Amino acid sequence: MRLIKNFALMIVLLPMVGACAYVDLEEIGSMEVQHWEFAQNLHREYVDLAQAEWDEGDYADAELFGNKAIAAADAANEGSTIPDPQEVSEREIPAGDVDVLSNARASLIEQLDNGRRTMPEHAARAQAMFDCWLQELEENIQPEDIAKCRDGFNLAFLELIKGAPAPAMVAAAAPSGEAIKAVGPFMVYFGFNSASLDSAAKALINSLASHKFSGDELGYIVLSG
């Protein structure tokens, strides 16, 4: 009987031991990241995401983000490949969101080519918030967390666009002080069954108001419910 009890105790404890063996976030967070500001920022962003998921008991995603933090540090320290934003196909995303996420990722990849060097903090933030957005959409149980990651991505991505270099060939130089042309897509979300914008959405709209547009822009509304 005692043997059976001990065996049952082992079965109960195994998931707990497994969970504790995923990642050492304290060790990962204390890693030194050499001489590359983008990698330093990306490492910190992924450590923060890993810790947030660990605190919620999502040890699998804590491990994923922790490993991406390690990869960012290794890219700076050892010259290995810097981790990219996660592929949309690697997550089980609601069908109605796949195109939006795919377009957002493609636009982010394009901006990262230059942004890693010229705006490393915003580039790292945009990448981490994109991965966060994917992760939260796959769970699809915490609307506030989805919105937080999505809006974090949008704001960081807008900063990347604002800092993007001008096209190599132009017909004539723009007059001094003229607004910078905005290049989308940009996404603004409303609360479910609501016409109210949160502070992040309002900040995005206010920032876009200072940009130049061609006049040919298109917009659409996706209704839910």
Q: Which of 61-75, 83-97, 210-224 has the lowest mean pLDDT?
A: 210-224
Give residue-wise pLDDT tens across range 137-172: 999 999 999 999 999 999 999 999 988 775 544 444
Q: Is the dihedral angle over the CA atoms 28, 32, 34, 36 positive or is it negative? A: positive
Q: State the pLDDT confidence band at 33, using cuts at 50, 70 and 90.
A: very high
Predicted structure pTM score: 0.69
Beta bridge partners of 181: 212
The candidate with the shortest Cα–Cα distance to 117, out of 150, 165, 70, is 165
Residue 195 CB-density burial (10 A; 0-12 exposed, 13-18 middle, 19+ buried): exposed
Q: State the pLDDT confidence band at 190, using cuts at 50, 70 and 90.
A: low
Q: Residue 31: what pLDDT?
A: 94
Calpha distance 7→3 (Å, rounded) = 6
Q: Would you state the torsion angle of the CA atoms of residues 96, 101, 106, 108, taken in this order, to the nearest 10 degrees?
A: 160
